[in-house]
Structure 1
Amino acid sequence: MGFFSEYINGANAYIKKINSEGGVFGRRIELLSYDDQYDPEKTVYYTQKLINDDKVFALLNYVGTPTGTKIVPIVEEAKIPLVGIGSGAQIFREPLKEYIYNLRPSYHQEADAFISGIVEELGIKKIAIFYQYDAYGFDGLKGAEISLERYGLKPTAIASYERGSLDVGGALATIKDSGAEAVFIVGVYGPTAEFIKQARAQNFNPIFGNLSFTGSEALAKELGADGNGVVVMQVVPPPTEKNLLIGVDDYINDLNASLPGHEATFSGLEGYADAEVFVEGLKRAGKELTRENFMNGLESIEKYDLGLASPVNFSATQHQGMQRVYATYLRDEKFVLFRDWKTAEFNVKKEEMQ
């Protein structure tokens, strides 16, 4: 299950529900989607197609940092609103992008949540960084370095891998030799799983922390038993929290109506939340729908409750709607939500580390 397909499945589930209820002011929403295969040049091509050929009203749910970066000037030139980017990169946040509305917290916030947890709660100071050598990886690396600097720390080691490669052995050797007690990973599930599995095989067992973009469910499947204790920071709660959070329950119910029997996922829930905020903007725009009214509607959203224990706030000067980061760790290929780093059942305790 890829991030993009699940992201769109979640958005579709919400939009289908809205359309079944008559749409917004009698207007049904049509969602067009193209697969750019995480190729920036294809992202540019399909964005121009959506704007110039398909004549869409707005854009929704783009995925990726290197891909999204390429279309920022296109969006700004066309003056077309884009709601929801499956990336926490700063380029979509600072300086403020007039036409881009992010829902998810930034990678810097995810990095800080992980590093503050292990430093303040567990007393860990030897932290290495393993990252993907591209715009996504550079952004996560920068966020981790900023967080470490707050505690007067520097990475014990920094190592990378090439996007699309599983060649992680050299990076692992560098990080293992540094004596790191924790490794912050800015990657995607394939190379990340390979890195962790090789580390386990060498009896190198620091706390592994990951960004949400890694691809949670795919990572869990790839790791199997080697995943126990691996931490993944999230921008939405686990889909298993349906009995505690009404937003998760709504997502699962609407997903089942849209795709019966389909597995609920983190990226699906994020896409669903993005679509709900998109529709809320349409409602607040009123019957006379224009892009300007739509953007004004989005910017009027304050303390909006998605049922995810993370209220949404936008304004003319704030285009990131959510601020909360959720900490999870793997246990038997399932994600466990936690708040207390001292009592979380990590697979390897600090005193057992090599």
Structure 2
Amino acid sequence: MRIIPPAVVLLALLVALPLAPTSAKAQGERELVFGMSAAFTGANGELGIEYYRGLMAYLDYYNARVGEGGRTIRVEPANDGYNPGPCFQNTVNFIVRDDVFALAAYVGTPTATHVLPLLQKFEDRHIYMLFPFTGAQPLRDDPFGKYVFNLRASYFDETRVLVSRLLAVGRGRIGVFYQSDAYGRTGWDGVRRALAAQGRHIVSEAAYHRGAAFSRDFSLEARHLMDAGVDAIIVVGTYASQAAFIRDARNAGCDLPIAGLSFTDSDKMLDLLKAESERTGRDYTADLIQSQVVPSYEETGLPGVRLYREIMGNYEGGLVPSGGEAYSPRRYSFVSFEGFLNGRLLGEMVRRMGDAPSRERIPEVLESIRDFDLGIGVDAHFGPDRHQGLDAVYLTTVRDGHFRSIDSWEKWRK
């Protein structure tokens, strides 16, 4: 992770401070305002919007049920295009100009990690980041972990489970294709650590620059990994880049299992691959493995899934945040389900604050949440030394045109 020198942080703040006085966007007497910086345009725009829609679907539901004396929740979204610079400026504005109650639901590792020094800089103002859409380790470790509360499992958790399952079916020559930034390197490091724990190493690797579109040609990268004799590939990328790599790897004759992480937005990636399959007559959806940090939205035996489907199925709000691109929203997705669950936890925190909400109390209140039932089969659990509520990782593969739970790994046994 690239740590911003204090002088650069201070310079940025001095530039931003004259924009407007503190508390320029005053919070209503019964309303708490949270700032959200995410990609609503660019290569990951749909991911940011889906996450926002899931979050807002629950918060609109929550606000409609706040009784007399309760506090409603408002989220101010700001587009950063999945770029660290705009995210940094958005965050300065949230803290200095808007005086938000907290930062919440940030999307992406390169963006979220870039603003961590601001949390430390404004420690006296008790600025916390709540439930970001990233599994990156810097948001969990010292010196910044104490300012961040995560709901989802980490990328280290995801890669450890993926590596364990691949090794169990005899696939120990693992290659990695990753995004060359904080997100990709965190995932790469997770694979490296998981393999090292078993006395193994990454056989081959290739990287790409953030922002690659589906039109990008990754034939050389795919061939590089194949020539090294790998027997499985883990991709740490975004939906467009991962789909492009899968397309080019399959076109090059690679029939190995290709696995990805939850941040990919597997639903959007699968859309791209199915459209390419229809165009070319070749199936690009076989032998894909995807780790998720929430259960499938088709697991209707879970009460949390049923509530999500009930609310999300008819939700028409939160379509395009200010500055976002128009697109046809999904009825259900893994990404919006994660946003929905984060909204539930945000609402629970505000509810527990009662008549005395304050930034200073955020750690006390969240650390008091033990065994909180989200209706997904595992409870969220926090504590003074635990700022990650869930550890569960769910492994899925494409079946009947959708990512579904893996019933057996035998098809991939060597």
Report the TM range for the smaller structure's normalisation: over 0.9
Residue among 228, 231, 243 paired with 2:289? 231
- Once the two structures are superposed, residues 68-87 of structure 1 have per-residue CA deviations (whole angstroms, 9 ceiling, x without a partner) of 11111212333212211111
Deviates more, 1:36-45 or 1:24-33: 24-33
- Alpha-carbon distance in structure 2 between the residues aligned to 1:132 and 1:23: 46
- Alpha-carbon distance in structure 2 between the residues aligned to 1:24 and 1:207: 54
Residue in structure 2 matched with residue 103 of structure 1 by the alignment: 151
Q: Does 1:258 align with 2:315?
A: yes
- Alpha-carbon distance in structure 1 between the residues aligned to 2:52 and 2:370: 25
- Alpha-carbon distance in structure 2 between the residues aligned to 1:39 and 1:23: 39
Residue in structure 2 matched with residue 85 of structure 1 by the alignment: 132
Residue in structure 1 matched with residue 170 of structure 2 by the alignment: 123
- Once the two structures are superposed, residues 1-43 of structure 1 have per-residue CA deviations (whole angstroms, 9 ceiling, x without a partner) of 7221111111101111111112684222111111111111110
The answer to whether the Cα contact below 8 Å between 1:88 and 1:105 also exists between their aligned partners in 2 is: yes
- Alpha-carbon distance in structure 2 between the residues aligned to 1:337 and 1:326: 7
Secondary structure of the residue aligned to 2:373 is: coil
The answer to whether the Cα contact below 8 Å between 1:303 and 1:312 also exists between their aligned partners in 2 is: yes
- Alpha-carbon distance in structure 2 between the residues aligned to 1:90 and 1:69: 9
Secondary structure of the residue aligned to 2:106 is: strand
Residue in structure 2 matched with residue 141 of structure 1 by the alignment: 188
The answer to whether the Cα contact below 8 Å between 1:303 and 1:311 also exists between their aligned partners in 2 is: yes
The answer to whether the Cα contact below 8 Å between 2:217 and 2:248 also exists between their aligned partners in 1 is: no
Query: Structure 1 runs of 4+ off > 3 angstroms?
Result: none
Aligned-residue Cα RMSD (Å) equals 1.8
Deviates more, 1:196-205 or 1:7-16: 196-205
- Once the two structures are superposed, residues 208-259 of structure 1 have per-residue CA deviations (whole angstroms, 9 ceiling, x without a partner) of 1101111211110111231122011001112111x22111111121223432
Residue in structure 2 matched with residue 113 of structure 1 by the alignment: 161
Q: Does 1:151 align with 2:151?
A: no
Amino acid at match of 1:147: A
Residue among 168, 177, 202 paired with 2:227? 177
> Which ranges in structure 1 are unaligned for 5 or more consecutive residues?
none
- Alpha-carbon distance in structure 2 between the residues aligned to 1:339 and 1:229: 13
TM-score (norm 2): 0.79
The answer to whether the Cα contact below 8 Å between 2:222 and 2:252 also exists between their aligned partners in 1 is: no
> Which ranges in structure 2 are unaligned for 5 or more consecutive residues?
1-44, 275-282, 318-328
Aligned ranges for residues 188-267 of structure 1 at < 5 Å? 188-224=238-274, 225-241=283-299, 243-259=300-316, 262-267=330-335
Residue in structure 1 matched with residue 391 of structure 2 by the alignment: 323
- Alpha-carbon distance in structure 2 between the residues aligned to 1:312 and 1:143: 23
Q: Flag the 1:218–1:257 CA change in 2: closer, same or farther, 3 A.
A: closer
Residue in structure 2 matched with residue 2 of structure 1 by the alignment: 46
The answer to whether the Cα contact below 8 Å between 1:131 and 1:160 also exists between their aligned partners in 2 is: yes
Residue among 349, 372, 382 paired with 1:304? 372
Secondary structure of the residue aligned to 1:317 is: coil
Amino acid at match of 1:116: S
- Alpha-carbon distance in structure 2 between the residues aligned to 1:141 and 1:167: 21
The answer to whether the Cα contact below 8 Å between 2:136 and 2:155 also exists between their aligned partners in 1 is: yes
- Alpha-carbon distance in structure 1 between the residues aligned to 2:233 and 2:360: 45
- Alpha-carbon distance in structure 2 between the residues aligned to 1:291 and 1:162: 37
TM-score (norm 1): 0.92
Aligned residues: 344
**Residue 302 (structure 1) shift:** 0.7
Identity level (%): 32
